Structure 1
Amino acid sequence: MLMIIEKCNNFLLSVTFYDELHQRGNQKQNIMKSLKITIAFFLLFNFAFSQAPAITIDISGSGTPVLFLPGFTTPGSVWDETVANLNGNHQNYLVSYAGFDGNAPIAMPWYDTIKKELIAYVNEKKLTDVIIIGHSMGGNLAIDIAASLPDSIKSLILIDSIPCMRELMMPGVTEAQIQYDSSYNKQMLSMNKEQFNQTATMMAQNMTNKKEKVNTLLNWILKADRETYVYGYTDLLKLDLRKSLDKVTAKTLIIGAAFPTIETAKTNYEKQYKDLPNKHIEMISDSKHFIMFDQPELLYEKINGFLNNG
């Protein structure tokens, strides 16, 4: 990169010197045209190599590969206790996302870029018989990866994850109606620190029954890059993975929080996952969205039972 910059600087100096010596119109136009092309190429090259990665991965252990995918705003470390309570020998890949937990943000579309990098990672590392454990948005990514790489992904465990969040939150709203440029997004981006803190606090309180965990969730939200938080959530609202479910061949366990009631939650899961083959749905009582906080021991039991006994 330094060599390219030096060559570009030398080129610019030579062009300036040449222009001073020769003031002929046609020659000057040709030089400026070449200069613009060179600068455009340099900027494009520089941008390609300065773009932050969409994912960061911490690897531990050895054995069967397990890809741990957290939810929105959540760092890979949310899985530390799950990893510690996983039976058997596994190589654990804890993923974190651009724009969250201090990671540099990336350009939009955010979700699609993350998905592509995860698929490329599995291919480049030649991972096989992969188990993916995904929470919330991580479950969406798990479906996308399993649908794209059916020969590489052996099992999925989807924790409180729904294929089309928009259908539950905004019935009847189409993907085309969800845009980055919206009044809601503008409002979120323009909030001052105190206003955003109040909104984030309410969201954190609605995601766990454990009061001692609310500040953990709140800090993850507040640490997020604001544009990633706003536009990344827009990406999630546009998702409808129900059309990809029939491409998934991996054995799948779906673990849902029984909130607001077990009957309502289970009906929603059965309806949204009806086209997913080879699945089993388990509901966890007395839990909100972060089951790993509200019912950790029961969650570990369900995960280990599925992996050990199928």
Structure 2
Amino acid sequence: MKVALSFALAIALAIGAPAASCADNPRAPNRFASTLVPSERFEVGVLQVERHGQGARPLVLVPGLASGAWVWQDIVREFSSDHAVYVVTLPGFDGRPAVEGDALAAAANALQELIVSRKLDQPVLIGHSLGGTLALEVAEQQPDLVKGVVTIDGLPVVPGSEGVPPSRRAIDASEMKANAAPVSAEVFKEQQEQYLREVGLLDMGKAADLAALTARSDPAAVLRYTAEAFALDLRPGLANIKGPVLLVAPYFGPDASQEGQSLEGKVEYYRELMKGAQNLDLVAISPSRHFVMIDQPQQLVEAIRRYLESL
């Protein structure tokens, strides 16, 4: 199975895998670059936060690996008219400096600090990929602070690693970091575009624009987050989550057929990884690859809206 969270790409970086060459050509303005002006921009712990709109139920949007606030533009436009929407950017991503130590733990702590310091009344955490994993972690650690979680192709354990024993996870994560080979910004951008064309997006024409944005992230930070996520296994704590969880599973038949996987098979696999969650709804969105908000924005908006209306 192709792994979410850009893990295949990040591991390739760690072992110094070559990337296909990709010449830079003059382009029109980047269609995904952020154009929304927030009502407020501030820092909480290691996070940069942008606030849009206002409303009774706050939403906290957490982007995935190497992504910034720009990935949520359609979601912000749809929901900021009746919700206060807080969009965070993690250190090391989208041009922000990386931090020392456990970046995932620092991000989880900062998300909790955001909720408490801003007196957010039981927000819904909405995360993509690595951001979804972080949302699950916060909901496990502080179940009374969070109304619920929407996780878009973000899981409590790296898919394909669910059989790795806990004693091996930290060791393997350390080896990922130790074996990291330095890559230039140019090579990193090429690898990002290759990943987005093969795993991230359906529309090949969008890959270059999105890669130009993800390439603003620190390659070393991307690898560190990947290793730290590999070390995580949140499955034992899923029962701690009090609020409902919506898991969005993207599915693209031509990719899945190469792996002998049906839509029903992927749904059941994801459901098994979420075993222990007391109030789980799983929605498959097809056709879509990993960046559901780019491939199928309207389907995703409708799924989130149904979820919010059910609270």
TM-score range, shorter chain: 0.7 to 0.9
Asked whether the 8 Å contact 2:54–2:80 carries over to 1, the reply is no
AA paired with 1:269? Answer: Y
Does residue 120 of structure 1 match 2:113?
yes
Q: Following TM superposition, by how much is the alpha carbon of 1:267 offset from its aligned partner in structure 2, in angstroms?
A: 1.8
Asked whether the 8 Å contact 2:250–2:285 carries over to 1, the reply is yes
Aligned to 1:271: 272
Aligned to 1:178: 172
Does residue 109 of structure 1 match 2:140?
no
User: Separation in 2 of the partners of 1:87 and 1:200?
Assistant: 30
AA paired with 1:136? Answer: S
| Aligned residues: CA RMSD | 2.1
Q: 1:158 aligns with which of 151, 157, 160?
A: 151
User: Separation in 2 of the partners of 1:128 and 1:157?
Assistant: 17
With normalisation by structure 1, the TM-score equals 0.76
C-alpha offsets along residues 128-184 of structure 1, whole Å, 9 cap, x if unaligned?
12111111111111111112222221121111111101x51574363133233x3x5
Structure 1 stretches of 5 or more lacking a match? Answer: 1-51
Structure 1 pair 190/263, CA: closer, same or farther in 2 (3 Å)? same
Q: Following TM superposition, by how much is the alpha carbon of 1:254 offset from its aligned partner in structure 2, in angstroms?
A: 1.2
User: Separation in 2 of the partners of 1:101 and 1:195?
Assistant: 17
C-alpha offsets along residues 249-285 of structure 1, whole Å, 9 cap, x if unaligned?
0112111112424133212211011100111111111
Asked whether the 8 Å contact 2:53–2:80 carries over to 1, the reply is no
Does residue 245 of structure 1 match 2:238?
yes
Q: Following TM superposition, by how much is the alpha carbon of 1:88 offset from its aligned partner in structure 2, in angstroms?
A: 6.0
C-alpha offsets along residues 12-56 of structure 1, whole Å, 9 cap, x if unaligned?
xxxxxxxxxxxxxxxxxxxxxxxxxxxxxxxxxxxxxxxx95210
User: Separation in 1 of the partners of 2:146 and 2:117?
Assistant: 14
With normalisation by structure 2, the TM-score equals 0.76
Q: Which has the higher helix share?
A: 1
Q: Secondary structure at the match of 2:108?
A: helix
How many residue pairs align between the two structures?
256
AA paired with 2:279? Answer: N
Asked whether the 8 Å contact 2:49–2:87 carries over to 1, the reply is yes
User: Separation in 1 of the partners of 2:178 and 2:208?
Assistant: 26
Q: Secondary structure at the match of 1:244?
A: helix
AA paired with 1:57? Answer: V
AA paired with 2:275? Answer: K
Structure 1 pair 53/103, CA: closer, same or farther in 2 (3 Å)? farther
Structure 2 stretches of 5 or more lacking a match? Answer: 1-43, 257-261
Identity percentage over the alignment?
Answer: 25
Aligned to 2:291: 290
Structure 1 pair 228/187, CA: closer, same or farther in 2 (3 Å)? same
Aligned to 2:210: 217
Q: Secondary structure at the match of 1:281?
A: strand
Asked whether the 8 Å contact 2:157–2:235 carries over to 1, the reply is yes
Asked whether the 8 Å contact 1:189–1:230 carries over to 2, the reply is no
User: Separation in 2 of the partners of 1:238 and 1:219?
Assistant: 29
Aligned to 2:160: 168
What does 1:1-310 correspond to in 2, within 5 Å?
53-63=45-55, 64-86=57-79, 89-165=82-158, 167-169=159-161, 171-172=163-164, 174-180=168-174, 182=175, 185=177, 188-205=180-197, 206-259=199-252, 260=256, 261-310=262-311
User: Separation in 2 of the partners of 1:73 and 1:278?
Assistant: 30
C-alpha offsets along residues 277-301 of structure 1, whole Å, 9 cap, x if unaligned?
1111111111110111111111111
* Higher mean C-alpha deviation, range 283-292 or range 219-228: 219-228
Q: Following TM superposition, by how much is the alpha carbon of 1:185 offset from its aligned partner in structure 2, in angstroms?
A: 4.3
Q: Following TM superposition, by how much is the alpha carbon of 1:226 offset from its aligned partner in structure 2, in angstroms?
A: 2.3
Does 1 or 2 have the higher relative contact order (CA < 8 Å, sep 6+)?
2
Rg larger in 1 or in 2?
1
Q: Secondary structure at the match of 1:253?
A: strand
Q: Secondary structure at the match of 2:49?
A: strand
Structure 1 pair 98/253, CA: closer, same or farther in 2 (3 Å)? same
Q: Following TM superposition, by how much is the alpha carbon of 1:188 offset from its aligned partner in structure 2, in angstroms?
A: 4.4
